[in-house]
Amino acid sequence: MAEIPTVLITGASSGIGATYADRFAGRGHNLVLVARDKARMEALGARLRDEKGVTVDILQADLTNPGELATVESRLRDDSQIGIFVNNAGASLGRTFVEQSTDDIGRLVALNTTAVVRLASAVAARFVATGAGAIINISSVVSLAPEFGMSVYGATKAFVTFLSQALSLELGPKGVYVQAVLPAATRTEIWERSGVDVNTLSAVMDVGELVDAALIGFDRREPVTIPPLQNAGQWDVYQAARQAMITGFAQSHAAERYRAAN
Ligand code: NAP
């Protein structure tokens, strides 16, 4: 792997992905940008080549299309220059569960979960073989909050948070860093694309601030980075409460409250 590895970023045509592209180019990394909108990526790539002096490859792909997803998987599997993978492409769905069409839900799950895990799978074996590499998975605070009423989106992000934490435990000892980034509302096109006016939300972070904070977490090798969480101790308490349950799960008998009354 090169000394300054190439970074492949999905969802790099706008928002968080485009900002990661800008920041990693600023750190001297060559880039591979993936999304559907080729013209936007070409424009971003031209600016970054010009301003930052890095090379930028454009890979147009709809990650819900199995054939196009396979092209990106191959690139991650075979390109030994790629040492950082930003697993960022994602979307949301407006309205309530019963108002969302089953096909729209299927497409959201394909993009936010199937593509995310297939791409991580494609790159992980090569990273483990070299004992290096980093995977940044963009999840969401919604993954921790069923109360937000974003049932399917939140469920897909819970998948991403869990996968990241589990892969961090599994791949970390093999030299591969896995980070989950959990933004809260951030000013990007995702809101408009899902039919929500971002200006109706009460607190929205600028995308540059979000990515810069996430990169501080990256540099510290945090497994989970939640930029808007002011009190880091709350996450530690939450983790400790969850881990305290684990030791009690192995039981030959149901808990007292589930035993039939005689
Ligand atoms: P965004 O500006 O809408 O960016 C989404 C990116 O994903 C775009 O580059 C889009 O590019 C790409 N994309 C969408 N569908 C795709 C598909 N089928 N195939 C390939 N690429 C696709 O929104 P964003 O906020 O930056 O979202 C990035 C990530 O952050 C998502 O995973 C999102 O869930 C997460 N997130 C966002 C927020 C927030 O408030 N903004 C909060 C928490 C988490 P094309 O349209 O060109 O394909």
Mutate to test the pocket of ligand 1, among 179, 190, 209, 226 (most ligand atoms within 8 A of CB): 190
CA distance 89 to 260: 49
Convert the pLDDT of each residue in 164-173 to its tens digit. 999 999 999 9
Which residues surround ligand 1 with Cβ inside 6 Å?
11-17, 35-37, 61-64, 88-91, 111, 138, 140, 183, 185-186, 188-190, 193
CA distance 68 to 88: 16
Convert the pLDDT of each residue in 197-247 to its tens digit. 999 999 999 999 999 999 999 999 999 999 999 999 999 999 999 999 999
CA distance 5 to 2: 5
Helix (H, G, I), strand (E, B) or coil at 252: coil
Query: Of 18, 2, 14, nearest to 191 (Cα)?
Result: 14
Whether pTM exceeds 0.85: yes
How buried is 228 (Cβ within 10 angstroms: 0-12 exposed, 13-18 middle, 19+ buried)? Answer: middle
What phi, psi does 127 have (nearest 5°)? -60, -45
Q: Let me know if 153 is a catalytic residue.
A: yes
d(CA 36, ligand 1 centre) in Å: 11
CB 219 within 8 A of CB 177: no
Averaged over 46-57, what is the pLDDT? 98
CA 78, distance to chain mean position in Å, is: 21
